[in-house]
């Protein structure tokens, strides 16, 4: 099917295979396609870890040349430092567990990059996310407000990335395109190989969004000062050791705590952080570990891409990436907050993490754990 009026779409070419195929498919469908690499981070501070941005630009440019589209490098480093790295470091410094990938999508890809694309005359931004977009059911939205769109999970259950898009708005979703959301990963790689793309067999990135394959602890050590304190057993207050800083730990963490198991080979797990005395709270792993499993949580900073739910209702939620959707009762409390009651207890829900809200495969929005 030919594209109406040669819509101009810019594709965020990351140098990986997913965005490469996204650009290829749009070109084949007849759109006016341009590729752009977002230069967000170049490891100026020489943090330990691999930050292959230079090779990514080379690969993205080679893909654009192979497809036959124009290519640009867009410098968004200052915005990225302020909106993503700043959010990340501030969150950890305050004892939270932020999600930089979700914030990168909202603030950078569909934020400042989308604004730049509009200024350049593009009507949409395409990415290599495994997610889908389709027209919302009739009757949603205000009369005269235009079409509303639904955000759906990607067709490949092993690669679905809708969770990372859970904080984008309806306005951002209108301008988003997800050309590969209907594909399985093996199908996508086959398309890339058949087209002779240099990224066809390139390994998927596993690092922090645009920062690269650097361990989070190494990244935090470079920017957040250590603030040592006691490691305390939550059940009886006994001090078991010392930690280097609460920002190195998250609720539910089993490994790297720095204290051995007991003589019965019971392992400790992080169950909380206490600001008053900068204590890391631990307990033996198990259903009785205090604070580890919860049925109720409160979320705030709710962001919807559908009309907000203003009455109590039953929805589904994804408590973190790669978790299955689970049933929950959603009880709005006003001011962008809500009480969540899970139908089954959930493990290790850390403040600052994101709860994605669903009706089946449709993602409605998300909130942040308090």
Q: Which residues are catalytic?
A: 104, 209
Q: Which two tokens stand for residue 221?
A: 């050590």
Q: What angle do CA 178, 180, 186 make, to 5 degrees?
A: 160
Rounded-to-integer distance, Cα 249 and Cα 257, Å:
8
Largest CA distance in the chain: 72
Cα 47 to Cα 23, 41, 97, 109, 148: the distances in Å are 32, 12, 20, 24, 43
Q: How far is CA 193 from the centre of its chain?
A: 28
- Cβ(291)–Cβ(312) below 8 Å: no
Q: Which two tokens stand for residue 127?
A: 């990415």
Nearest Cα to Cα of residue 56 among 223, 218, 207: 207
Element (H, E) at 78: helix 77-80
* DSSP-assigned letter for residue 248: G
């Amino acid at each position: 099917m030919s594209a109406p009026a040669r819509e101009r779409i810019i594709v965020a070419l990351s140098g990986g295979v997913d965005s490469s195929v996204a650009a290829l498919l749009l070109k084949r469908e007849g759109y006016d396609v341009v590729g752009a690499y977002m230069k967000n981070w170049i490891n100026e501070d020489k943090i330990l870890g691999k930050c292959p941005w230079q090779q990514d630009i080379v690969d993205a440019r080679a893909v654009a040349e192979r497809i036959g589209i124009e290519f640009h490098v867009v410098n968004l480093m200052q915005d990225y430092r302020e909106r993503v790295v700043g959010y990340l470091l501030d969150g950890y410094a305050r004892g939270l567990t932020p999600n930089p990938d979700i914030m990168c999508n909202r603030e950078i890809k569909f934020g400042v990059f989308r604004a730049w694309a509009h200024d350049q005359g593009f009507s949409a931004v395409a990415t290599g996310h495994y997610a889908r977009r389709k027209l919302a059911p009739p009757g949603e939205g205000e009369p005269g407000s235009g079409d509303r769109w639904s955000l759906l999970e990607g067709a490949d259950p092993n690669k679905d990335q809708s969770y990372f898009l859970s904080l984008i708005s309806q306005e951002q979703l209108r301008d988003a395109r997800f050309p590969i959301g209907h594909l399985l990963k093996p199908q996508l790689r086959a398309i890339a190989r058949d087209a002779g793309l240099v990224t066809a067999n390139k390994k998927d990135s596993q690092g922090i969004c645009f920062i690269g394959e650097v361990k989070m602890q190494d990244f935090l050590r470079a920017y957040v000062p250590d603030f040592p304190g006691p490691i305390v057993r939550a059940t009886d207050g006994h001090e078991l050791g010392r930690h280097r800083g609460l920002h190195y730990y998250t609720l539910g963490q089993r490994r790297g705590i720095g204290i051995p198991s007991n003589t019965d080979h019971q392992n400790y797990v992080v169950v909380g952080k206490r600001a008053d005395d900068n204590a890391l709270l631990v307990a033996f792993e198990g259903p009785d570990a205090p604070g580890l499993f919860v049925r109720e949580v409160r979320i705030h900073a709710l962001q919807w891409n559908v009309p907000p739910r203003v009455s109590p209702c039953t929805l589904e939620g994804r408590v973190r990436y790669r978790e299955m959707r689970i049933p929950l009762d959603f009880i709005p409390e006003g001011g962008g907050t809500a009480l969540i009651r899970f139908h089954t207890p959930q493990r290790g829900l850390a403040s600052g993490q994101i709860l994605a809200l669903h009706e089946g495969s449709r993602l409605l929005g998300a909130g942040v754990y308090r």
